[in-house]
Amino acid sequence: MGIWRKLLVSVVSIVMISSSVFISTSEHNTVEAASSYSSLKTSINTIMADSRMKSASTSVTVRKASTGEIVYEHYADKAVTPASTMKLLTGAAALETLGENHRFSTTVLSEGKVEKGTLKGNLYLKGQGDPTLLKQHLDSFATSLAKQGIKNISGNLVGDDTWYDKVRLSAGILAEDEPYYYAAPISALTLSPNGDYDAGSVIVTATPSNNGRKTNVTLTPATSVLQVINNSKTVPKGSKNTLKITRKVGTNKVIISGNSPFGTSGIKEWISVTDPTAYALDIFKKSLAEKGITFATGSKIVQAKTPENAKALTSRKSMNLKDLMIPFMKLSNNTHAEVLAKEMGKVVHDEGSWNAGLLVMQEYALSIGLDVSKWTFEDASGMSYSNKTTSSQLSQLLYLVRSEPWYPTYSKSLPVAGSPDRLVGGTLKNRLKTAPAKGNVTAKTGSLENIKSLAGYAKTKSGETLIFTVLTEKNKSSTIPVIDRIATTIANH
């Protein structure tokens, strides 16, 4: 683990010494745009005078997509926490490093042989990072094993998550976020509850039952790795809904509290598990049981490395990265970002760790000419408040990737303003819903407490594409309405 941290420090030190080789941007509050953009400059400056922007720490850059020429700046070199716009670098590095056709594998293996319906040995479920693994895939594994004549297993059910290291949470995860899907632990063997692929989480639903009684609680998929403590109550129709679902930090105890009015739909939360490997194994054992496959008395569920002599019994590969980029970027999936970081570390440096993965991202940024001395990050999703970059650097990234062969995939993965289809509009589905921004702005959103950002492309009235990056932090009130005015103004140019 330490070797990559030392290498990272070395890379950054070298670049800091020679940073003049890279992009040179001014520290001026605002600079004059090219004469043809003077009206745009005036319009954005008027918007920037909004009290919400004046009270925040902001960095804004607008540049021509065709040449990279900057046409507007406002503190372009100011370091700001980018939130999920960090995924713009993660996605680009992954497409370049892993390739559009990269797939994640999950394999079922055993070192034993089948004799009279009994598999004489352990059954191994080996994960290699697939964040799209669903219960239906484990069901398919079980069906395949049943077709191979396996009815009983004499050994243990073993989960192999050794493709990545054992560090489950990135450095920037706060305790208050840990119970929820967006801060789920990362494992090479994990499971998603549905087609959004929020790996390492379970959908917990609480709905009213009869008046005075506890709510009905369901888990999707049904798993015993979470312990439900139901302190909620169904109350008469018209009463206030105070239902809450959370998980006690550091435990598997899911707490259901509050009142659920009769006649309402209740609430639903995506709750993270503490051990994704144990979660996948629990569901796999249930899938096996549903196909009539049992384990011998004394068999256990354990976690260990698959022996070299084990042979594959069945396996699957995930969708390719080209397709995974859609739920990853459109829905701003944090788990996907962190899995991709570890996967890049594994592929390039044979170490599935954050240190190795973030080093690959640094190396990629350096290779395309970004000034890595102006980037600081301790995760790949943007969850950490310690992450920093500038609007100038982020917009330079968006300019440089346009010449990459995988750029069409990258571009398609960005949320499209105002599009009602959630796998098109994504996190911009309910923003910028009117002309001229609707359909003409494609951009990555970023959101943390008191931090809001938007970075991407806007097609203007004349058909020109402009790159814009707006980063804001220390917001006393949400800057989203102001950011959206900037995007609309650019599209209206």
Active-site entry in 41, 43, 78, 84: 84
Distance CA 259, CA 231 (A): 9
Does the annotation count 84 as an active-site position?
yes
332 is catalytic: yes
Q: Which H or E element spans position 342?
A: helix 334-349
Residue 28 pLDDT class (50, 70, 90 cuts): very low
For the cut 90, the answer to whether the pLDDT of residue 202 exceeds it is yes
Please answer whether residues 345 and 8 qualify as being in contact, where contact means their C-beta atoms are separated by less than 8 angstroms.
Answer: no
Tell me the domain boundaries of the chain: 2-101+321-491, 105-167+276-317, 201-272
Q: Which of 366, 365, 398 is nearest to 62 (CA)?
A: 398
Domain over 2-101+321-491 is classified CATH 3.40.367.20: no
CA-to-CA distance for 210 and 446, rounded, in angstroms?
A: 41
Sorted by sequence, the CB contacts under 8 Å of residue 104 that are 6+ apart come out as 128, 129, 130, 131, 132, 317, 318, 339, 343
pLDDT of residue 323: 98
Q: What is the mean pLDDT of residues 245-254?
A: 97
> Which residue is it, tokens 């600081």?
376
Does residue 201 carry a catalytic annotation?
A: no
pLDDT digits 0-9 by tens, 266-284: 999 999 999 999 999 999 9
Instruction: Tell me the CATH architecture of domain 105-167+276-317.
Output: 3-Layer(bba) Sandwich (3.50)
Mean pLDDT along residues 93-121: 98
% of the chain residues with pLDDT over 70: 93
Q: Is the pLDDT of residue 33 over 50?
A: no
Token digits of residue 429? 């589905």
Do 128 and 317 meet the contact criterion of CB atoms below 8 Å apart? no
Q: Is 344 exposed, middle or buried (0-12, 13-18, 19+ CB in 10 A)?
A: buried
Q: How far is CA 12 from the centre of its chain?
A: 25
Side-by-side strand order, sheet with 244-247: 227-230, 253-257, 244-247
pLDDT band at 5 (very low <50, low <70, confident <90, very high): very low
CA dist 187 and 170 (Å) reads 12
Identified catalytic residue from 87, 233, 429, 452: 87
CA distances from 83 to 1, 72, 242 (A): 25, 22, 30
Indicate if the alpha-carbon torsion angle 459, 83, 133, 426 is positive or negative. negative
Residue 147 has pLDDT above 80, yes or no: yes
The predicted pLDDT at position 439 comes to 98
Closest CA to 482 of 42, 75, 45: 45
| pLDDT for 475 | 94
Mean pLDDT of 74-81: 98
3 state DSSP class of 240? coil
Residues above pLDDT 90, as percent of the chain: 92
Tell if the pTM clears 0.85, that is, is over it. yes
Q: What is the pLDDT of residue 396?
A: 98
Selected catalytic residue, list 318, 332, 353, 391? 332
Rounded mean pLDDT of 220-248?
97
Count the alpha carbons within 13 Å of 37 in the hemisphere toward its beta carbon: 21
Arithmetic mean of pLDDT over the chain: 93
Cα 476 from Cα 473, distance rounded (Å): 9
Q: Smallest Cα–Cα separation from 186: which of 219, 203, 204, 164? A: 164
pLDDT value of position 36: 83
**Cα Dmax for the chain:** 83
Q: What is the pLDDT of residues 290-347, one digit of tens each?
A: 999 999 999 999 999 999 999 999 999 999 999 999 999 999 999 999 999 999 999 9
Give the pLDDT band of residue 142 (cuts 50, 70, 90).
very high
pLDDT at 35 (0 to 100): 57
